[in-house]
Amino acid sequence: MQLGIGGMPNIIGQLLMEHGKKDLGIHTEMFTDSMADLIEEGVITGRKTSLNPGKAVHCFAAGSRRMYDFMDHNTSLAGFPVDYTNDPYIISQNEKQVAINSAIAVDLTGQVCSETVGYRHISGTGGQLDFTLGAYMSKGGKAFTCLHSTYKTKDGEVESRIVPQLERGDVVTVPRSVTSYVATEYGVVNLKGKTSWERAKLLISIAHPDFRDELEREAEEKNIIPKTLRGRKKRSFE
Amino acid sequence: MPWVPGGYDESIHISDVDFIVENEKYEIPELGNPDATDVDKKK
């Protein structure tokens, strides 16, 4: 398992504990508090990890004092250089590698932006592309891009994070050719192997219901959904 | 600072070090841990 930066690793950690998962392993860029908790609880053992059994493989760590104390002289951890942890071909040598990363916006072609809002810088690129690719190449692996369907602007307006196209200045963190699973609170879809219009339909199906009609209209206007296929959506995708 | 075991290249040889800055004043930076919201937990 690899978890990205932000609030999401803690959420996943909490949910994994609640769901009684066992014998998970870690191959990640960033080691987080939730991973320390999961090792202590016996959820992560690395017992079934194919590449570095028994070791939580990571490149760096950032978290609480409690996590730093947990890490100190702990032989269940192994720190590697970033050119090892983030090499997609190394990552893919772990069977069932799961990569979970968050995003700021996803457009209807499947491009993922996790770094900027327009020209405003939010975060570095990190290992999102490396792990999305590596987990996809891993036997039985899966790569998830997770985001809330909406956000509130500072004026209190609700906007969709699934957008017809990325805005000027938005950085493409994961190109549409690499994006596979995308998850919101309305579901999970897999874009791999789908045509352009199928991707648009799938992404619209996990957008906030209040924005689905508008997204559908825009997809048609921009010809992401071709004329010949319009109106057929509801039967095949709902 | 924790001392963490490595896979490889976890140590720097003294011949590669130009300067050492000792610090007793500043604590290691900590990162906050926001709790899961209801939206995060929704399936």
Q: What is the CATH number of the domain that holds A238?
A: 3.40.1080.20
pTM, rounded to two decimals: 0.91
Instruction: Judge contact between A113 and A123, C-beta under 8 A.
Output: no
Full domain range(s) for residue A223 = 95-238
| pLDDT number for residue A188 | 97
Same domain, A205 and A109: yes
| Domain edge (last residue) among A60, A85, A110 | A85
The alpha carbons of chain A give a radius of gyration, in whole angstroms, of 19
List phi, psi (to 5°) of A67.
Answer: -70, -40
Over the stretch B10-39, which tens digit does the pLDDT of each residue have?
988 999 999 999 988 888 899 887 777 788
- The ipTM of this complex is 0.85
- Number of domain units in chain A: 2
Assigned domain for A198 exists:
yes
The DSSP code for A214 is H
Would you say residue A133 lies in a domain?
A: yes
- Model confidence over A133-181: pLDDT tens digits? 999 999 999 999 999 999 999 999 999 999 999 999 999 999 999 999 9
Question: How far apart (Å, rounded) are the C-alpha atoms in residues A113 and B21?
Answer: 38
Q: Residue A51 has which token pair?
A: 């590449």
State whether A60 and A111 are in the same domain: no
Three state DSSP letters for chain B: CCCCCECCCCCCCHHHCCCCCCCCCCCCCCCCCCCCCHHHHCC
A198 contacts: CB under 8 Å, gap ≥ 6: none
What is the rounded average pLDDT of the residues A84-93? 98
Mutation target to probe the A interface, by most A beta carbons within 10 A, among B3, B4, B39, B41 is B4
Residues A30 and A110 in one domain: no
A65 to chain B, any CB pair closer than 8 A? The answer is yes
Q: Is the dihedral of CA A148, A149, A153, A155 positive or negative?
A: negative
Boundary (domain end) residue, out of A58, A85, A112:
A85
Kindly state whether residues A124 and A209 are assigned to the same domain: yes
Judgement on whether residues A65 and A109 belong to the same structural domain of the protein: no
Q: How far is CA A237 from CA A116, A121, A201, A215, in A?
A: 31, 36, 7, 15
Predicted pLDDT of residue A238? 46
**Residues A127 and A41 placed together within one structural domain of the fold:** no
Please indicate, yes or no, whether residues A116 and A72 belong to a single structural domain of this protein. no
Q: Nearest by CB to A7, from B28, B34, B42: name it.
A: B34
Does the structure show a pLDDT above 60 at A111?
A: yes
